């Protein structure tokens, strides 16, 4: 089987990116350049550039060409960042990951809602029992990268700072500890899919960009689930890292 021409051209462009000939934010050769350089038809040149876009390596900007993606992904060290020495000392659990980068939390909204069935099942509350819902968006170096929604049983957190936008030093986990529900164990479940229209809008996702979903559940020493946190991440913006022993 001979590799189609557009794939050979795409492979050459990928090699050039890997070699640093085109850096983040650089404009790639246009259709006319590729037609001249490789002696191919416009459709072939377009397909080659399409490969890089569909793989998330490049993005088209209207009328300006196709550019190497700029975002260098944020490395998220789940196990280290959720260690008690982080939030137990009053640091944000995010501090571990975002050295030298500008991370802003916006669109914070806290309210009370009846629990969806899937959330009620994990938190072991009655279906439609009231839960505290904390929504926020994370913006890294000016680009929205994650939508995060936490659910906690109202029965546990009513009246506490967890029900207010600013939860104070150490955040939600430090406050859960204050309330006698210290998280000592976490489960993270990771999936990936194409984004919904709402996610495309809120995360300003270019075409060909999936989302990674991380659903974290926090458990107390008694084994009770006290928080479910559903995160939706721009897959291009994150590398999730887990380090553990055999």
CA gap 230, 217 in Å, rounded: 9
**Residue 245 CB partners (closer than 8 Å, separation 6+):** none
72 binds a second copy (CB under 8 A): no
In order of 74, 85, 236, the CA distances from 146 in angstroms are 11, 24, 11
Instruction: Single out the residue of 39, 45, 55, 44 nearest to residue 236, CA to CA.
Output: 55
Considering only CA atoms, which of 157, 213, 222, 154 is closest in space to residue 188?
A: 213
Q: How far is the CB of 225 from a second copy (least distance, A)?
A: 13
CB of 85 to a second copy, least distance (A): 9
Which helix (H) or strand (E) segment is 198 a member of? helix 197-203
Strand partners, 67: 27, 59
Tokens of 4: 């189609």
Residues 80-99, interacting with a second copy (CB under 8 A): 82-84
Stretch that binds a second copy, among 122-130, 153-161, 222-230, 237-245 (CB under 8 A): 237-245
Phi, psi of 211 (to 5 degrees): -110, 150
Binding-site member from 16, 30, 56, 94 for a second copy (CB under 8 A): 56
Interface pattern 186-225 for a second copy (x via CB under 8 A): xxxxxxxxxxxx----------xxxxx-------------
Do the beta carbons of residue 226 and residue 156 sit within 8 Å? Answer: yes
Residue whose CB is less far from a second copy, 102 or 243: 243
| Least spacing, CB of residue 191 vs a second copy, in Å | 5
Number of residues that bind a second copy (CB under 8 A): 45
Q: How far is the CB of 95 from a second copy (least distance, A)?
A: 15
Q: Which is nearer to a second copy, 100 or 245 (CB)?
A: 245
Judged by CB under 8 A, the chain residues 117 through 146 that form the site for a second copy are none
111 forms part of the interface with a second copy (CB under 8 A) = no
**DSSP string computed for 33-67:** HHHHHHT--HHHHHHHHHHHHHTTSEEEETTTEEE
Q: Work out which of 22, 151, 181, 238 binds a second copy, going by CB under 8 A.
A: 238
Least Cβ distance, residue 112 to a second copy (angstroms): 23
Residue 107 binding a second copy, by CB under 8 A = no
Binding residues (CB under 8 A) for a second copy: these are: 7, 51, 54-56, 73, 75, 78-79, 82-84, 173, 182-197, 208-212, 235-236, 238-246
């Amino acid at each position: 089987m001979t590799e189609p021409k557009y794939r050979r051209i795409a492979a050459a462009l990928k090699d050039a990116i890997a070699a640093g000939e085109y850096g983040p934010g650089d404009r790639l050769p246009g259709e006319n350049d590729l037609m001249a350089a490789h002696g191919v038809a416009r459709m072939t040149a377009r397909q080659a550039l399409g490969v890089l876009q569909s793989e998330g390596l490049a993005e088209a900007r209207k009328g300006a060409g196709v550019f190497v993606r700029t975002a260098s992904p944020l490395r998220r060290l789940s196990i280290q960042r959720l260690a008690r020495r982080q939030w137990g000392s009053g640091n944000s659990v995010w501090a571990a990951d975002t050295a030298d980068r500008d991370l802003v939390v916006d669109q914070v909204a806290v309210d009370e809602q009846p629990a969806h069935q899937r959330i009620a099942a994990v938190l072991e509350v009655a279906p439609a029992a009231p839960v505290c819902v904390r929504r926020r968006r994370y913006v890294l170096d000016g680009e929205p990268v994650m939508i995060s929604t936490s659910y906690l049983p109202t029965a546990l957190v009513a009246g506490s700072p967890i029900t207010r936008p600013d939860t104070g030093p150490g955040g939600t986990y430090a406050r859960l500890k204050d309330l006698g529900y210290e998280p000592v164990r976490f489960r993270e479940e990771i999936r990936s899919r194409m984004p919904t229209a709402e996610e495309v809008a809120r995360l300003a996702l270019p075409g060909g960009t999936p989302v990674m979903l991380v659903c974290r559940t926090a458990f107390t020493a008694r084994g009770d689930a006290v928080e479910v946190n559903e995160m939706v991440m721009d897959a291009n913006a994150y590398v999730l890292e887990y380090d553990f022993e055999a």
